[in-house]
Amino acid sequence: MGKGFETAKINEAIVDMIEDYILVCGSDGQIVFSNRTVQLYLGYAKQELNEKSFFDIVSDIYVNKAEEFFSSASEEPSAWTEFLLQGKQEVLKLHFKILRKDGLIYIRGNEKYAEYERLQKRLDTEIANAIKIHNRSLPESLPDTGNISFKSLYIPAEEMGGDLFDAFKVDNGLLNDYFEHYVCFIADVSGHGLDSAMLAIFVKDTIRSFFTLKHVPGQLLSPKDIMHFFVEQYLKEGYPEEYLVCLFIAVFDFKTKELSYCNAGLHICPLLVKDKNNVIELKNAGLPVSSAIDVDLLRYEDSSLPLLQDMTMFIMSDGLPEQRSNNVFYEDRMKRLFTEACYMSSSDIIDRVYKDFTDFLGYEKIKDDITLIVVKLLPD
């Protein structure tokens, strides 16, 4: 390249190629540079703009705002500020950012960026509200009685998760003295963003509505009936085929002394642990719930076993066992921990798991929502 090239001309050519509206002014507002984009937008030739100040092209009602805009300029770009400008043929709207450097005022406009930031701010607000809604859908407390104790560990992978869980005592009305049922479920919805969190809330609301619309107090309570009610409502809603809901439902019946459960796609089997020599995997998982699967395949059956006193049940989504650190899965370490800690109280088990998982994780980022429910079956 020859000695005579001028960097300023090269810079000007580059600035003329971008979509941003660029003005450079003196501290008094006099325009010393404008790029081609802003010239075309306002309808002025370069020389015409160079003979004006920024205050000349601002609509009269915005002059005071422009003066404040200039006086606030610093070496850090400002937020987007809206102005009405006097174009050669019409009044036009632009959003500008401003900064001061080396005695000059640099003004940059770009409606695409301004609109993007506006939409981003709106989205952030909507996500913050959705997070509040999702968090309110998580149980504030879980049953803890003389027969059974539930405790939970929940860590979302992002600010909002696709996992949801609950445990509650069934209200049998006037028959409460004769029946004692507890329902516990965990749902793992594909993904862990805004849409997944909202779908997870639908899961909880639908299961709760079963006890309002279908369940008769004192009636035999079957997890598969709850599951089929959920499938029916899910398909009615017409959710897109790409969504999957993995759902595990357990019923603890202290009248019949029986634990029954139904599993739709939760591939990490819940565990019943008494000691290291007595570990039962609750298998028999069916397909996950999805509108992409033929409805005839979305049929589920109950599995059951006696309620064994002094045993501990671990129900989890796949986020906990499938978390990796240094290319090692947490699953084997987790199972060893369960057998070591099963004699502890449910709250102490949760504390122990959280500390161990945090030590295992180190500086790794959580890849998926972490949900664990510990159910302690207490001795009479």
The string of pLDDT tens digits covering residues 90-148 is 998 888 999 999 999 999 988 776 667 777 787 777 777 777 777 777 888 999 998 89
Using 50, 70 and 90 to split pLDDT, how confident is the model at 161?
Answer: low
Angle, CA 114 vertex, CA 112 and CA 116 arms, to 5° = 65
Alpha carbons within 13 A on the beta-carbon side of 304: 15
Considering the entire predicted model, what is its pTM?
Answer: 0.70
Instruction: Write out 277-291 in H/E/C secondary structure.
Output: CEEEECCCEECCECC
Q: Which CATH architecture has domain 137-377?
A: 4-Layer Sandwich (3.60)
Q: How many CB atoms lie within 10 A of CB 119?
A: 10
Contact 271, 314 (CB under 8 A): yes
pLDDT tens-place string over residues 26-54: 999 999 999 999 999 999 999 999 999 99
pLDDT tens-place string over residues 312-350: 999 999 889 999 998 899 999 999 999 999 999 999 999
The pLDDT of residue 1 is 45
Contact 356, 341 (CB under 8 A): no
The pLDDT of residue 160 is 62
pLDDT tens-place string over residues 257-299: 999 999 999 988 999 998 778 889 998 889 999 999 999 999 9
Which of helix, strand or coil describes residue 175?
helix
For 288-310, give one letter per residue: b (16+ CB within 10 A) or e.
bbbbebeeeebebebbeeebeee
The pLDDT of residue 15 is 83
pLDDT tens-place string over residues 165-189: 999 999 887 777 788 899 999 998 8
Distance (Å, whole) CA 215 – CA 181 = 12
**Contacts by 55-62 with C-beta closer than 8 Å and gap 24+?**
55/29, 56/86, 57/85, 57/86, 57/87, 58/83, 58/84, 58/85, 58/86, 59/83, 59/84, 59/85, 59/86, 59/91
Angle, CA 160 vertex, CA 196 and CA 228 arms, to 5° = 35
The pLDDT of residue 140 is 86
**What CATH number labels 7-109?**
3.30.450.20
Using 50, 70 and 90 to split pLDDT, how confident is the model at 57?
Answer: very high
Q: Does 78 or 9 have the greater pLDDT score?
A: 78
Distance (Å, whole) CA 40 – CA 43 = 5
Q: Does 158 or 346 have the greater pLDDT score?
A: 346
- For residue 230, is pLDDT > 80? yes
The pLDDT of residue 222 is 94
The pLDDT of residue 247 is 96
Q: Which of 290, 164, 298 is nearest to 234 (CA)?
A: 290
Mean pLDDT of 213-230: 90
Write the DSSP assignment of 128-139 as a string of letters: HHHHHHHHHHS-
pLDDT tens-place string over residues 1-14: 454 557 777 787 88
Contact 282, 261 (CB under 8 A): yes
The pLDDT of residue 157 is 78
3-state helix, strand, coil in the chain (%, to 5): 35, 30, 35
Distance (Å, whole) CA 298 – CA 227 = 9
Q: Which of 43, 47, 48, 3 is nearest to 21 (CA)?
A: 43
The chain-wide mean pLDDT, for the chain, equals 88
- For residue 158, is pLDDT > 60? yes
Q: Which of 55, 12, 47 is nearest to 30 (CA)?
A: 55
Distance (Å, whole) CA 74 – CA 97 = 11
The pLDDT of residue 264 is 95
The pLDDT of residue 114 is 62
Domain ranges in the chain? Answer: 7-109, 137-377
